[in-house]
Amino acid sequence: MEFFDRRGKAVELGPAVAHGGEAEVFQLTGRPGQVAKIYRPGKATEPRRKKLARMLVDPPVDPTVKIRHRSIAWPEELLVDASHRLAGFTMPRVDTRIFRTLVRVYHIGNYPPELTWGHLVLVARNVAATLQALHDKGYVVGDLNESNVLASENCLVTFVDCDSMQVPDPGAGRVHRCLVGRADYTPPEHQGKSFADFDREPASDLFALAVLICQLLLLGRHPFAGGPHQDLARNIQRRESFLLHGGRGAPTGTPPLRILPSELRYLFTRCFKKGHRRPGKRPTADQWKLALDEIYHGRRTCRVKPRHVYSRRLRSCPWCAFARDHGFDPFGVLPKPTRRKKPRPAPKPTPARAPAAARKKPAPVRTKKPRKKWKAPKTWWKMPWARRKGRPANRKKAPRRDRALSWTTLVLAALVALVATAAVVALGVWILLD
């Protein structure tokens, strides 16, 4: 079956790269940077054609366009069949060998060898920045979950399945709704409702964004898991989250909440507690982005294990404590770099040995040592013993005890002389008076 673009040029499909319930994705021959999404029979309806036409007219501003990366796999061109009926559309190609879904990013068993907690913070930041770009144009993702967001090893993200988003059409006075969603990412005000019966607000995406950020930063733990009920949707309706109870009731293996800086814990409280009945109180995607930016640029690396990255506001490494308490390290240890062995130099050729008669050592030549030149003696004031007042330097001072005895002797002698003088004077007075 042939398909044509808007200029009427035939488009040649290559092998299929992805399959879904509503469409298939094919490579395009001669267009390495694009793929074609072809709908299955009965899925390419007229409302869908109007929705795609509106998306082509007003695309969002890609936040990573300056670094030549497509964060949003937005439709680029409609494809029609020979009867000029909608068949699908073209969109940017995402290399699935490099990009993986978020569920394969925050799951511990899929961590690449060099992944750190800082990389997960950066992925969460990029998800928030991309969502803010969509909200700035009035679009609502609706079905925001870990399967329609892809992440690469350099922490860049790409939103896929954009044709299922909610698209406003002010010219026609209507909204093309998002008809799909998952209960574990649906806010409490939409639980148990049919998505085709109401228009979604950006606040519904903000609830799903907070869930994704929690899963990225807490080793894949859903914020409403481990509650009194096994059903996540029921815990969402009853506001049963371990983030709101200081970590009590968290699933086994959940990191302590002190890993999250205070500003992040505040944003989670605003989203899941204050925003439970008032969705307008939930933090915006831009507020999440700013908080995650500050955490990423203020991160600290453990001195013992270089893969342990945490907030600079913590005094000790929380991942080392987590490894001691739970018996495993989620980030492991970096493999030691293999050093290339230097090639050994080739051995030098040894010269042939001379005969025994020629190997005799020559008799040592005796040389006379030169005599030291005579120097005139130093004058007495330059001699080492004449350092102070002409006295020898090695002259020892009398100890204090000896000096004290000499002074005592002098005092006693003076007293004896005084007594003798008094006795003589008294004797002379007595003689005169007699």
Q: Per-residue pLDDT tens for 122-151?
A: 999 999 999 999 999 999 999 999 999 999
Decide the pairing of beta strands 23-28 and 299-301: unpaired
Residue 360 has pLDDT above 70, yes or no: no
DSSP type of residue 60: P
Q: Which residue has the tokens 């009867």?
A: 83
Query: Which tops the pLDDT comparison, 10 or 387?
Result: 10
Residue (of 367, 372, 391) closest to 381 by Cα position: 391
| Average pLDDT value for residue range 179-185 | 94
Interatomic CA distance for residues 210 and 385, integer angstroms: 87
Judged against a pLDDT cut of 50, whether residue 422 lies above it is answered with yes
pLDDT of residue 362 exceeding 60:
yes
Residues of the chain with CATH 1.10.510.10: 95-326
229-276 tens-digit pLDDT: 888 999 999 999 999 998 888 898 899 999 999 999 999 999 999 999
Number of H helices and E strands in the chain, helices first, is 8, 14
- For residue 223, pLDDT beyond 90: yes
pLDDT of residue 424: 86
The Cα 233–Cα 215 span in angstroms is 16
pTM above 0.85, yes or no: no
Three-class SS of residue 159? strand
Q: What is the pLDDT of residue 119?
A: 93
pLDDT tens across 273-314, in order? 999 999 999 999 999 999 999 999 999 999 999 999 999 989
pLDDT score of 423 more than 50: yes
Task: Write the CATH number of the domain with boundaries 95-326.
Answer: 1.10.510.10
CATH 3.30.200.20 residue ranges for the chain: 1-93
pLDDT of residue 390: 47
Please provide the average confidence, as pLDDT, over all residues in the chain: 85
Select the more confidently predicted residue: 367 or 411: 411
The span from the CA of 255 to the CA of 143, in Å, is 28
Read off the pLDDT of each residue in 5-27 and give the average, rounded to a whole number.
Answer: 89
**pLDDT score, position 356:** 58
Max CA-CA distance within the chain? Answer: 170
| Ramachandran region, residue 8 (left: φ > 0; alpha: ψ -120 to 50; beta: rest) | left
Better pLDDT: 407 or 217: 217
* Among candidate residues 283, 170, 183, the one with its CA nearest the CA of residue 224: 183
At residue 345 the predicted structure's pLDDT band, cuts being 50, 70 and 90, is low
How far apart, in whole angstroms, are the C-alpha atoms of residue 386 and residue 391?
5
Alpha carbon dihedral 384, 387, 389, 390, in 10-degree steps, equals: 10
Using the predicted structure, report yes or no on whether residue 396 has a pLDDT greater than 60.
no
Residue 38: CA count within 13 A, CB half-sphere: 23
Q: Is the pLDDT of residue 372 over 70?
A: no
Predicted confidence band at 96 (pLDDT cuts at 50, 70, 90)?
confident
Q: How far apart are CA 257 and CA 236, in angstroms?
A: 19
> 3-state class of 10 per DSSP?
strand
Lowest mean pLDDT among 78-92, 153-167, 353-367: 353-367
Give me the CATH code for the 1-93 domain, please.
3.30.200.20
User: Rounded distance, CA 24 to CA 36, Å?
Assistant: 8
Residue 183 has pLDDT above 70, yes or no: yes
State residue 230's pLDDT score. Answer: 82
Q: Residue 408 above 70 pLDDT?
A: yes
Classified as helix, coil or strand, 306 is coil
Q: How far apart are CA 300 and CA 181, in angstroms?
A: 38
Residue pair 56/77 in contact (Cβ under 8 Å)? The answer is yes
Lowest mean pLDDT, pick from 31-45, 53-67, 106-120, 392-406: 392-406
pLDDT bracket for residue 112 (50, 70, 90): confident
The CB density around residue 124, as the number of other CB atoms within 10 Å, is: 29
Distance CA 91, CA 25 (A): 10
Q: Residue 167 above 70 pLDDT?
A: yes
Q: How far apart are CA 63 and CA 157, in angstroms?
A: 11
